[in-house]
Amino acid sequence: MHAHFFIRLSIYFKNIIGGGIIIRGSQKMPQKRGDEDILNEGIRSREVMVITDDGEKLGVIPTSQALDMAFTKNLDLVLVAPTAKPPVAKFMDYNKYKYEQQRKQREAKKHQKIVSLKELRLSPKIDTHDFETKLRNGRKFLEKGDKLKISIRFRGREMAYTNQGREVMMDFAKRCEDIADVESKPKQDGRSMFMTLTPKKDK
């Protein structure tokens, strides 16, 4: 009878080990792919500097002992500074930690401001009405937080008016100086001239 009992017990433990299941304490925590090297039994270092879930430093102790302590608290042992010597590990609920990290990332994305680059085209001999219209549109873009690229294309004999084109651009920039800064001053490239305005940071 005793022999039969021990044979059944041996098969039971063989199945557990063969199935890759390790039961420690009262809880088996799920692991995600990519977490193995920093989490629980995946920690390869023989000893770690331990910080409790309350922030208390327990000092350097054997990893196996730290694991026992973590599972006793129903928590995971997680490397928070794997490259330190010795590595630093902390008691925590890893699933809860990962969830909080993902939630923070989602919140950060919601508050991220997407900056677009808008473009307006002027001419070296632009009339007052057209200039005012372009100025109103440009200010709307800047007030929304978009960058603004101002361009002038010099056609044919207009190449003789590059200085005038530069003056038009600088006048535009001056009329926007309350809400924008000049990121790049007028620069000529062949028959084209460009200038970039960016919204003031406090706007």
DSSP state of 27: B
Answer whether residue 186 is part of any domain: yes
CA atoms of 45 and 63, how far apart (whole Å) = 7
Q: What is the pLDDT along the chain (203 residues), one digit of tens a residue?
A: 444 444 344 444 444 444 443 344 434 444 444 566 788 988 998 999 999 998 899 999 999 999 999 999 999 999 999 989 999 999 999 999 899 989 988 888 777 767 788 999 999 999 999 999 999 999 999 999 899 999 999 988 888 989 999 999 999 999 999 999 999 999 999 999 999 999 988 64
Q: Is 15 domain-assigned? A: no
Q: Mark which of 65, 96, 127 sits at the end of a domain.
A: 96
Q: Based on the structure, what is the number of domains in the chain?
A: 2
Q: State whether 121 and 193 are in the same domain.
A: yes
Beta bridge partners, 192, equal: 153, 189
30 falls within a domain: yes
- Is 72 contained in some domain? yes
Long-range interactions of 171-175: CB distance < 8 A, separation 24+:
172/122, 172/131, 172/134, 172/135, 172/138, 173/197, 175/135
Q: Among 96, 125, 151, where does a domain finish?
A: 96
> Which residues are within 8 A (CB) of 38 and not within 5 positions of it... i.e. 6 or more apart?
78, 79, 82
The answer on 190 and 122 residing in a single domain is yes
Q: What's the CATH number where 184 sits?
A: 3.30.110.10
Q: Is the dihedral of CA 155, 161, 166, 167 positive or negative?
A: negative
Spatial CA neighbour of 49 closest among 24, 80, 21? 80
Task: Provide the 10 A C-beta neighbour count for residue 197.
Answer: 27
pTM of the predicted model as reported, rounded to 2 decimal places: 0.46
Strands 47-51 and 88-92: parallel
Q: Is 52 helix (H, G, I), strand (E, B) or coil?
A: coil
Same domain, residue pair 122 and 195 = yes
Token representation of residue 17:
């080990």
In a domain, 80, yes or no: yes
In a domain, 111, yes or no: no
Residue 48 lies in a domain: yes
Alpha-carbon torsion (61, 67, 68, 74), positive or negative: positive
Give the integer Cα–Cα distance in Å for 168 and 135.
11
Q: Do residue 92 and residue 121 come from a single domain?
A: no
Q: Is residue 176 part of a domain?
A: yes
- In whole angstroms, give the CA distance from residue 117 to residue 198: 9
In 3D space, the residue among 167, 173, 182 whose CA is nearest the CA of residue 135 turns out to be 173
Compute the distance between CA of residue 93 and CA of residue 170 in angstroms, rounded to an integer: 59
Cα angle: 115, vertex 118, 124; to 5 degrees? 145
Token code pair at residue 129: 């009405």
Residue range(s) defining the domain that contains residue 177? 117-199
